[in-house]
Amino acid sequence: MSEFANILIVDASKLARVLTKKTVEKLKEDSQVFLAGSVVEAKAILQENAIDMLITALVLSDGDGVDICKFVRQNQHYIPILVISGDVDKRVQDRLMDADVTDYLDKSRGQSGLEFFITGILSPDDHVSGHVLYVEDSRVVAHATKKVLANHGLTVDHVLTITNAIELLGSNKEAVKKYDIILSDYYLKDNETAQWLIEYVREIQQINKVELPLVVMTGDENEKNQKQILKSGANDLVLKPVDNDVLIKKYSSKYVLNNFKVVHNHNFI
């Protein structure tokens, strides 16, 4: 995320757009906020501007907010996408948004919920806590990364293979209860890839992005390959060599949102 964040807000309601803009500007004064009330307006803005974050409603006058999400993934660099809707629960259950959306927020949480999310993305608290499942086949890299995570108050279960990771996860209920996030290198020894883990978590265990975020570390700068990783079920990417500040920020943004859901006792599935 650049220091100067360009944020696109899409909502059919003018009042909702104004309120969301005020929330964004309160949290990040130097941001430039673009407003759109329809799919067509949003796509026009995206074609003319580099956007760092998208916040969109689902129901729009000329289509579905997911259409904008798909357009972003096809035409722009990776950016966080927040979908706000009154039927988030059903959408997540039906797995209609997993491919293109970073996170979801139930409209009933209002501006306080939105503020919590934006804070996590734009200026997360470095003082976090939680339990990380970390998959990395290089003991040297793992040692350094674990030290960084531990210095920020995180506990880490480190494994060398996808098989080991699956064993630690256990059942879907056990996995969600045990871990706050999964962090995995993409390319591992013996031709293993994080793709196997993504498919296991999302398809076999049926654990969605909200329940258990999954961040992939990759040295592949090919945007097509990056989009495929996200489309298959990863929440986010960290490019290698890993910047420690970026890594913690990625974790913090996911943890803040999950912690918000726990505090408010809101179940997304």
Please give the class, per CATH, of domain 130-247: alpha beta
Q: Would you state the pLDDT for residue 223?
A: 79
Tokens standing for residue 155: 């506990």
pLDDT bin (cut points 50, 70, 90) of residue 93 is very low
How far is 189 from 202, CA to CA, in rounded Å?
22
**Band of the pLDDT at 263, cuts 50, 70, 90?**
very low
Tell me how far apart the alpha carbons of residues 221 and 227 are, in angstroms, rounded to a whole number.
Answer: 10
Q: What pLDDT, on a 0 to 100 scale, did the predictor assign at position 140?
A: 77
Token duo for residue 227: 């989009």
Please give the Cα distance from 66 to 56 (Å, whole number): 9
Which of 15, 10, 63, 66 shows the shortest CA–CA distance to 36? 10
Structure confidence at residue 175 (pLDDT)? 95
Question: Among 7, 14, 90, 98, which residue's Cα sits nearest to residue 55?
Answer: 7
Two tokens, residue 84: 């706000």
Average pLDDT over residues 3-16: 86
User: Do the Cβ atoms of 201 and 233 come closer than 8 Å?
Assistant: yes
Q: Residue 171: is its pLDDT beyond 90?
A: yes
Which pLDDT value is given to residue 27? Answer: 79
Tokens 């999964």 correspond to what residue? Answer: 182
Q: How far apart (Å, rounded) are the C-alpha atoms in residues 97 and 25?
A: 27
User: How is the chain split into domains, by residue range?
Assistant: 6-122, 130-247
Q: Is 259 helix (H, G, I), strand (E, B) or coil?
A: helix
Picking from 6-20, 109-123, 125-139, 150-164, which range would have the lowest pLDDT averaged per residue? 109-123
- Residue 98, pLDDT above cutoff 50: no
Are 6-122 and 130-247 equal in CATH topology?
yes
For residue 237, pLDDT over 80 is answered with: yes
What is residue 100's predicted lDDT score, i.e. its pLDDT?
Answer: 60
Give yes or no for residue 190 having a pLDDT over 60: yes
Domain spanning 6-122, CATH architecture:
3-Layer(aba) Sandwich (3.40)
